[in-house]
Amino acid sequence: MYQVYILQSNKNNKYYIGHTKDINARIERHNRGLVRSTESSLPWKVVYLEEYSSKQEACKRELQIKKYKGGEAFKKLFKS
């Protein structure tokens, strides 16, 4: 299984959207500062998660979420 996830920074409330096969290992990498794009906003917490059976589906969904990041569709994810 693959997961599409949204992280929120505890430091500045920014969001990060990604996909992974192992959510626990991925979150650990983010919070240890091993991901360049998130290292300046530590620590991170998972605020949204979806599961997909293929990497292709997960990548497609990640891009879809990134396209409406910050808009109404993005906010609706958290209300569901």
pLDDT(74) > 70: yes
**pLDDT per residue as tens digits for the range 8-47:** 999 999 999 999 999 999 999 999 999 999 999 999 999 9
Q: Which residues contact 39 (CB under 8 A, 6 or more apart)?
A: 33
pLDDT of residue 15: 94
The CATH number given to 2-79 is 3.40.1440
The whole-model pTM stands at 0.92
Contact 15/69 with Cβ under 8 angstroms? yes
The pLDDT assigned to 10 comes to 97
Q: Nearest-5° angle of CA 7, CA 17, CA 42?
A: 40
* Predicted local distance difference test score (pLDDT) of residue 80: 61
Name the 3-class secondary structure at 64.
helix
Structure token digits, residue 78:
């958290």
